[in-house]
Amino acid sequence: MSTELTFKQYQDGLANDVFWGLLCDDCGSYTTPPQKVCRSCGSTALQVVELEKSGFIRTFTVIRVAAEGMNPPFVVALVETASGAWVMGNVVNIDPNEAGMELIGRKVTLSSRPVKGDVYACGDIHSLCFTLL
């Protein structure tokens, strides 16, 4: 693959169970979802890589008041993948009312699900989600 990853390619990957990211040649950080420069150092020396689809929850929150078109409550987590990339998404196999501090450090697998676009979106997309192991 080229050194450029478009949002469409990223979305197509998620739709086909492939998790793409960008690895910085200068600092070794990962950037995902894609953008033109490394989110850590600003370098444009990026290569497209397939990222691991497992990781650990580092923090989370329960959304009880959500934006238009969303159905609260739901759990949003920040996950450090086995590759080292940090990503945000919904934890799908937990009751939000049962979510507690024991979630931090739990292992998850990454996948995606189709999400209907709202009044502000550019259409339907695939959104990252996590399943507790």
> What pLDDT, in 10s, does the model give residues 60-100?
999 999 887 788 999 999 999 999 999 999 999 999 999 99
Residue extents of the structural domains in the chain = 1-51, 52-133
Q: Are 119 and 130 in contact (CB under 8 A)?
A: no
Q: What is the DSSP string of 6-22?
A: -HHHHHHHHHTT--EEE
Entry pTM: 0.88
Classify 52-133 by CATH class: mainly beta
